[in-house]
Chains A and B, each alone.
Chain A
Amino acid sequence: MAESTYKIVVVGSGGVGKSCITVRFVQGKFIKKYDPTIEDFYRKQIDVDSEAIMLDILDTAGQEEFSALRDSYMRTGDGFVLVYAVNSSTSFDDCSKLRSQILRIKEKENVPMVLVGNKCDIEERDVTTKEGEELAKTFNCDFIESSAKENINISEIFVKIVKKVKASQEADGVKKPKKKGCGSA
Chain B
Amino acid sequence: MSQFKHPSEIKIFPNSEIYFSVNGELVKECYQTQNNDQIPLFELLPELSVFIRTQASGQFTLIKLVQLNQNSCVLFLTSSGRIYEDSPENSDSDPPPDAENAVFYKQDRIKVIESAEGAPIISFEHLSWETAVELVCHPERQPYCDLLENTLLFCYPIFLKAKKPHKCDCTTQLCCCQVLNTSQLQLIQLVSQLMIPSSDLTGNDLLFIHSEIRAWRESALDFLYRWLILRYPEDATKDVRDVLIKLWQRLCCLEGVIGTCTIEDLKTTFNYTNDHEISVGIMSQLTKLQNTITQLEDQLAQQYEEETRFKQTQQNQMTQIQSSCLSLMLFLDGGRTPEYFNFDRITCRIILENREMPKFYIRMNYCLTTTQQMNVKEYDRHIQMFQLLLLESPMDFALLIAHYFTESYLTITPKDIQKMAAGVDTPNVMQLIQRHNALCKLIQILIFGFSFEHITLITQKQFNNPLLQSFSLQKHDKMRVKLLQKLCHVVQLLFELKCIEGIFCIVSSLTTQLMSRIYTDELQQQLNEALMGQGPWLAEAGAKHLQEGLKSGSNIAKQFFQNGKQMYDGYVAFFSKGDYLFKPTRPLEENTFYTISDIEDIVRQSLNIQSKEFQNLQAYALKLGKPVNALELIDPKGNYSIYRNLLKLSIRDKQVFIPYMGVVRRDLVFTMDGAENYVDAPKKFMNYRKASTLFEYVLTYLSPQMNFLGYQHENAQVFLSQNVVARRIKDNSQDAMLIWLRSFSLTMGDAVDMWAMSEFAKPRRRQ
Indicate if A42 sits at the interface (CB-CB under 8 A). Answer: yes
Chain B residue numbers with a CB within 8 Å of A17 are: 673
CA distance A32 to B425 in the complex (A): 26
Report the separation of the CA atoms of residues A68 and B23 in the bound assembly, to the nearest whole angstrom: 40
| CB of B575, distance to nearest CB on chain A (Å) | 34
Q: Is there an interface contact between B639 and A62, defined as CB atoms closer than 8 Å?
A: no
Residues 41-80 of A at the B interface (beta carbon under 8 Å): 41-42, 58-59, 61-63, 65-69, 71-73, 75
Whether a CB of chain A sits under 8 angstroms from the CB of B310 is: no
> Known: A36-B667, A63-B662, A72-B512. Is A30-B674 also a contact (CB below 8 A)?
yes
Best-buried of A19, A27, A68 by chain B (most CB within 10 Å): A68
- Check A34 against B662 for contact (C-beta < 8 Å): no
- Residue among B24, B517, B638 with most chain A CB within 10 A: B638
- The answer, among A36, A41, A66, A71, for a CB contact under 8 Å with B513, is A71
* 0 or 1 for each of A14-28: is its CB under 8 Å from B? (1 = yes): 110101101100010
Contacting pair B513 A105 (CB below 8 A): yes
Complex CA distance for A63 and B504, rounded to whole angstroms: 12
CB of A39 within 8 A of chain B?
Answer: yes
Q: Say how far A38's CB is from chain B's closest CB, in angstroms.
A: 7
CA distance A75 to B512 in the complex (A): 8
List CB contacts (< 8 Å) of B421-445 with chain A. 423, 425, 433, 436-437, 440
Q: Decide yes or no whether A107 CB sits under 8 A from chain B.
A: yes
A31 to B679, CA, bound (A): 9
If the complex has contacts A31-B676, A32-B687, A62-B662, are A37 and B505 also in contact, measured as CB distance less than 8 A? no
Give bound CA distance, A39 to B640, whole Å: 8
Do A62 and B668 form a contact, CB below 8 Å, given A31-B675, A32-B676, A37-B644? yes
B509 cross-chain contacts in A, Cβ below 8 A: 68
Is there a chain A Cβ closer than 8 Å to B636's Cβ? yes
Contact of B679 among A32, A36, A72, A107 (CB under 8 A): A32
CA of A23 to CA of B666, assembled, Å: 12
Task: Indicate which residue in B514, B665, B666, B689 contacts A32 across the interface (CB closer than 8 Å).
Answer: B689
Asked if B669 lies at the interface with its beta carbon under 8 angstroms from chain A, I say yes
A35 at the interface (CB under 8 A from B): yes
Q: Does chain B have a CB within 8 A of A130?
A: no
Per-residue interface assignment for chain B, residues 611 to 641, with 1 indicating a CB less than 8 Å from any chain A CB and 0 otherwise? 0000000000000000000000010101101
Q: Decide yes or no whether B690 CB sits under 8 A from chain A.
A: yes
Q: Tell whether A33 is near chain B: CB-to-CB under 8 Å.
A: yes
Chain A proximity of B442: nearest CB distance (Å): 12
Is A178 interfacial (CB 8 A cutoff)?
Answer: no
Interface flags, A69-93, vs B, CB<8A=1, else 0? 1011101000000000000000000
Please, how many angstroms separate the alpha-carbon atoms of A50 and B261 in the complex? Answer: 45
Contact A71 B676, beta carbon cutoff 8 Å: no
Known interface pairs A19-B669, A34-B690, A37-B667. Does A66 touch B662 (Cβ–Cβ under 8 Å)? yes
A163 within 8 Å of B (CB atoms): no
A33 & B668 in contact (Cβ 8 Å cutoff): no
Query: Which of B505, B634, B638, B673 is most buried by chain A, counting CB atoms within 10 A of its CB?
Result: B673
Q: What chain B residues lie within 8 Å of A20 (beta carbons)?
A: 673-674
| In the complex, A104 has a CB within 8 A of chain B | yes
- Contact flag A32-B675 (CB < 8 Å), given A37-B644, A58-B636, A61-B670: yes
Nearest CB of chain B from residue A116's CB, rounded to whole Å: 16
With contacts A32-B690, A39-B638 taken as known, whether A66 is within 8 angstroms of B674 at the C-beta atoms is no
Report the minimum CB–CB distance from B396 to chain A (whole Å): 23
B508 touches A23 (CB 8 A): no
Known: A15-B423, A22-B670, A31-B676. 12 other contacts (CB 8 A): A19-B669, A19-B674, A23-B673, A30-B675, A31-B674, A62-B666, A62-B667, A65-B433, A66-B433, A66-B504, A67-B440, A104-B514
9 smallest CB-CB distances across A and B, nearest first, come from A62-B665, A36-B670, A62-B666, A68-B508, A34-B675, A62-B669, A23-B674, A71-B512, A105-B513
